Structure 1
Amino acid sequence: MTFTAEAPHRLEDIAVRFSPDGAPLAVRYGGNIWAVDPDAATAHWFGRRSWWDGSGSAAIDGGDLPSVENWRLHARLSSNSALLTFHLQRSPGSPDWFLADITDAS
């Protein structure tokens, strides 16, 4: 599923399992558990909230808006299933991850 102008960007609840060192191992989404491919590269970064997104405001003299944590990873249902790319996000102070985007990795 790719989010387009016809299907606007939306966040969906998911669950993510991490290794002790903080790397994602699996994603529970759509009633299935998607195993992160250990041979595929993952990306981890922090981005700023958009100023027009009023859901998380900063203090008046606080400077920056809060950072949003992001992971981009490749996962599959089984060893012979299609590889998908998941873009996960987590808002500051929240324990919950959300699916921002999912696309075919090929």
Structure 2
Amino acid sequence: MDNLALLNDSKSGVAFAMVQGGVANINDDPKLVSIARMFYEPIWVWYREGAFKNDREQLKILSQLKGKRVSIGNEGSGTLVLTKDLFKTSGIAEHEMTAERLKPD
């Protein structure tokens, strides 16, 4: 998201940037052009063993995250945008979990 903001700011001096797939919106960024997809990027969901004791130890659908503490990506990251879209599609609101905007490290 930070890279998209730089591309949209004519004063930033940035003319080319790498952007995570799925975060740009043609309606919000009509002057941007994608030249290539570099690689397929799957969405990985990791969880601690034992976090889903009532569900036979497995996360099968995202709605099982309700009531859990979840790292959803930090501000300015594509992960945060994609996570919000996934949760919205799955019918999960941020207030239904402890949503943490943690950096990957």
TM-score by length of 1: 0.26
Higher helix share: 2
TM-score by length of 2: 0.26
Give the number of the structure whose alpha-carbon radius of gyration is greater: 2
